[in-house]
Amino acid sequence: MTASPELDTSQLAATDVFRSFFRRQAATVAVITAHGSRPVGLTATSLTSVSAEPPLLSFGVGTGSSSWPVLSTARHVGVHLLGEHQRGLATTFATSGVDRFAPPTRWRLGPENVPILEGVLAWAVCEVSARVPAGDHRVVIARVVTGGPAGAGRPLLYHQGRFNALRD
């Protein structure tokens, strides 16, 4: 059997393995926000703690995302951890072509003019330190400058392609 020159089967296999692998990893659901000429935001499942001293976190953003033009130059971003009661909010910020900040989304301008979502488990305003090219994404590394726990509850998770809650 020979492979067609138009179809790189080793790459397809690696992509399939990659997607299957990460569908099995439960991930925290976060919403990243920033403000340019308008507020922007996206749902992210790539949030990672990087360092406690200095307090750094990271997340990935696709360069094709409608939020990327603002995030590519924003000095500050908002990072919000969603609760299990916020599946609708996660879906809104993951949907293209909608006004993510229209009602019923509740938000306000916070420190550094960063949009802060109401009713989340916790939020942070972060100063962007680096944007590292990574394939069709950029890994944004940012230093936490302020924030706090905003609400009680259990975290929203992403697993097997769906938003989920913890089970006892």
Averaged pLDDT, groups of 10, the chain, 168 residues long: 51 75 85 95 96 96 94 97 95 94 96 95 97 96 91 86 83
pLDDT score for 11? 58
pLDDT score for 19? 79
Set out the domains of the chain in order of their start, with CATH numbers: 25-160 (2.30.110.10)
User: Of 28, 108, 122, 42, whose CA–CA distance to 74 is shortest?
Assistant: 42
Count Cβ atoms within 10 A of the Cβ of residue 135 and give its class: 0-12 exposed, 13-18 middle, 19 or more buried: exposed
